[in-house]
Structure formats: structure tokens, C-alpha cells
């Protein structure tokens, strides 16, 4: 058994007074990819945001054995958390180089690592990030997280809305990233989950309803159907 890097206990969160995460508890081991799954709108993205303090939250969150649930977002990130948000959220009015420069947190900055992983970005350094394609923006977003020395990556729907070819690129980049730091991954594409994840956490109605091995879940198509509302085999064929 590996150690736990992130421990979430009884986490609840609200957006504009509405409960979006309710009493969620799970652990993220300090290696490999942990996939956070569930139907649309069950609070996966909100859970990630609550861990980071981007939305109002209650409950206990321990990162590397230390409480972070009362801390503001920026100090949580400074502790060594890389965040790749849903919809990429690159700064469209800034150039690619500026987007990356902004993300440099001080300490060891791995520009070569990022340049090696995403050679395309170097060529587009002076291009405005808003003019990039969705796949390229996702690379910028991933690169921002990988520039720094991180102890955990929170990656939210990295393949959303991308063409199949690009999905493969992103998955490859994530596989490389997983060698550097453990990842908590929110992902709808079960093919990608199968490829990367070792553990799964399934949410339903803002609560955890299943945790376990990724392999075991994905091989049981009845379970996939009942937990995720998709037909396991079919979704694999689709993606």
C-alpha cells in the first residue's frame, strides 16, 4: 500500500447557497492516477474546486498530512498542487509565453521538461492563448501545472470537447505527468480512465457511492451502467 497524499473527510460545498458537494470522503494515494467519476452534474468539478478553496467549503482536507481546508487557494497551490481546470481557463489575452511565465511559482521551474513534452508551445510562444485551438489550450493548461515541482495534480476533464486524435495526445501527456506526481483526475472518457487510472472514486448526488480499483470497476459493465449511467462497453467503443 502506498501512502496517502490527499485525504478528504466530510467535505461539503455550496455555490450561491446551493449544496453542490455533500459529505464527501476519499483518499488519493501518493502515486498513480485516481479517477473521480460520476454522471454529469454530480459535483465532481465542485469537489475539486472545494479542495482548492475556490468555492466555500466545510469539512477536513489534509494534504501531505497537513490541514488545508482553512487556507486560501494560493497557499494550497504553493504547497505543491498543480491545477488543470475544466475548460482549460488559459488567459486568452496573454501570450502563451506569458501564460507560462505567470504560472512559474519560484523554486525549481522545469522549463525544459515542459518544452520537451509540448514542443508545439515553444513555437507559439508569442501567440495569444485565446487564438489557440482547444487542444493547444489544453497543452498550455497542462504545461502551467507541470512547470512547477508539484506533489499532486488536480486535473479536471482534460479531454472535454477535444477531437479523438487530440485526446490521445492529452492522455499521453497525462501519462507522462503521472510519473512526476500523483493525479486526481476528473474524466468522462472511460477509455482514458482505463488507460491511466489505478483507483476510482464515484460520486452520486454530491456523495461518494463507490471506491475501488479502476480495473475492477471498468471490467464490470453492469456496475459501470449502474454507477455512471453509461453502458460500459459502448462508451469504450465510442471513445
Partner 1 sequence: MSTIVLLLITGLGLGALYFLVASGLSLIYGLMGILNFAHGSFLTLGAFAGWELARRMGGDSWVTLFASMAAGAAVGAIVAAATEFLLIRRLYNRHIEQVLVTVGLALASVALFDGIWGTDPIYVTGPAWFAETTEILGARVPNDRFVLIAVAVLVLIAMVLFLRLTRYGLIIRAGVENRAMVTALGIDVRKAFTLVFAIGGAAAGLGGVLASHYFGYVSPQLGGSLLIFAFIVTVIGGLGSLTGAAVASVVVAVLQQFANYYLGGTGDLVVVLLLAVVLLVRPSGLVGRLA
Partner 2 sequence: MKTVTKRRWLPWAAGGAVVAFAAILPFLNIVVPGVLPGATYTPGTLQLLALSLLFAALALSYNLLFGSAGMLSFGHALYFAMGAYGLGILLQSTDLALVPAMGIILALVIVAAYLIGALSLRVTGISFAMVTLAFAQAGNVLIRRNPGLTGGEEGLRLATANVPDVLVGVINTRNLYWVALALVVVVFVVVTWFEHSRAGHVVAATRENELRVRVIGVRPFVVKLITFVIASALAALVGMVYLLLQSGATPRATSADFTLTILVIVVLGGVGSRWGAVVGGIVYTLLDQRLTAFASSDAVAALPDVLRIPLSEPLFILGTLFILVVLFLPGGIAGIVGRVGDRSRSRAAARDRVEEAS
Contact residues for partner 1 (CB under 8 A)? 52, 54, 72-75, 77-78, 83, 85, 89, 91-94, 98, 101-103, 105, 144, 148
The arrangement of strands across the sheet holding 33-37 comes to 81-84, 152-156, 183-186, 33-37, 197-204, 207-213
Q: Which of 22, 54, 60, 98 binds partner 2 (CB under 8 A)?
A: 54
Binding partner selected for residue 17 from partner 2, partner 1, none, CB under the kind-specific 5 to 8 Å limit: partner 2
Closer CB to partner 1, 54 or 223, in the complex: 54
Task: Rank residues 55 and 170 by Cβ distance to partner 2 and give the closer one.
Answer: 55
Q: Which is nearer to partner 2, 49 or 124 (CB)?
A: 49
CB 138 within 8 A of CB 172: no
Q: Which is nearer to partner 2, 54 or 128 (CB)?
A: 54
> What's the half-sphere exposure (Cβ side, CA atoms, 13 Å) at 102?
13
Q: Which is nearer to partner 1, 92 or 226 (CB)?
A: 92
Among 9, 15, 30, 91, binds partner 2 (CB under 8 A): 15
Assigned C-alpha cell, 115: 518544452
The residue among 54, 73, 52 whose CA lies nearest residue 8 is 52
List the single partner that 77 binds among partner 1, partner 2, none, CB under 5 to 8 Å by kind: partner 1
Within 56-85, which residues bind partner 2 (CB under 8 A)?
A: 56
Could you say which of 42, 52, 55, 192 contacts partner 2 (CB under 8 A)? Answer: 55
Of residues 1, 17, 106, 179, which one binds partner 2 by CB under 8 A? 17
Rounded Cα gap, residues 61 and 8, in angstroms = 5
User: CA 157, CA 194: separation in Å to the nearest integer?
Assistant: 15
Check residue 40 for interaction with partner 2 (CB under 8 A): no
Neighbour order of strands in the sheet with 4-15: 18-29, 4-15, 57-63, 66-67
The angle, 0 to 180 degrees and rounded to 10, between the axes of the packed helices 164-178 and 134-146 is 0
Footprint of partner 2 (CB under 8 A): 15-17, 54-56
Amino acid at each position: 500500500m502506498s501512502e496517502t497524499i490527499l485525504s478528504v473527510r466530510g467535505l461539503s460545498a455550496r455555490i450561491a447557497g446551493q449544496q453542490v458537494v455533500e459529505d464527501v470522503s476519499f483518499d488519493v494515494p501518493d502515486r498513480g492516477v485516481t479517477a473521480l467519476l460520476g454522471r454529469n452534474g454530480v459535483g465532481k468539478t465542485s469537489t475539486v474546486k472545494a479542495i482548492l478553496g475556490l468555492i466555500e467549503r466545510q469539512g477536513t482536507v489534509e494534504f501531505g498530512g497537513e490541514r488545508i481546508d482553512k487556507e486560501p487557494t494560493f497557499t494550497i497551490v504553493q504547497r505543491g498542487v498543480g491545477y488543470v481546470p475544466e475548460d482549460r481557463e488559459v488567459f486568452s489575452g496573454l501570450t502563451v509565453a506569458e501564460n507560462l511565465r505567470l504560472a512559474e511559482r519560484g523554486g525549481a521551474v522545469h522549463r525544459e521538461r515542459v518544452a520537451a513534452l509540448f514542443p508545439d508551445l515553444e513555437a507559439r510562444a508569442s501567440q495569444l492563448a485565446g487564438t489557440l485551438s482547444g487542444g493547444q489550450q489544453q497543452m498550455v493548461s497542462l504545461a502551467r501545472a507541470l512547470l512547477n515541482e508539484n506533489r499532486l495534480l488536480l486535473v479536471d476533464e482534460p479531454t472535454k470537447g477535444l477531437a479523438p486524435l487530440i485526446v490521445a495526445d492529452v492522455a499521453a501527456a497525462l501519462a507522462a505527468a503521472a510519473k512526476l506526481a500523483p493525479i486526481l483526475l476528473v474524466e468522462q472518457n472511460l477509455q482514458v480512465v482505463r488507460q491511466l487510472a489505478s483507483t476510482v472514486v464515484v460520486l452520486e448526488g454530491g456523495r461518494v457511492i463507490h471506491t475501488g480499483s479502476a480495473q475492477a470497476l471498468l471490467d464490470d459493465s453492469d456496475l459501470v451502467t449502474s454507477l455512471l449511467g453509461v453502458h460500459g462497453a459502448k462508451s469504450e467503443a465510442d471513445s
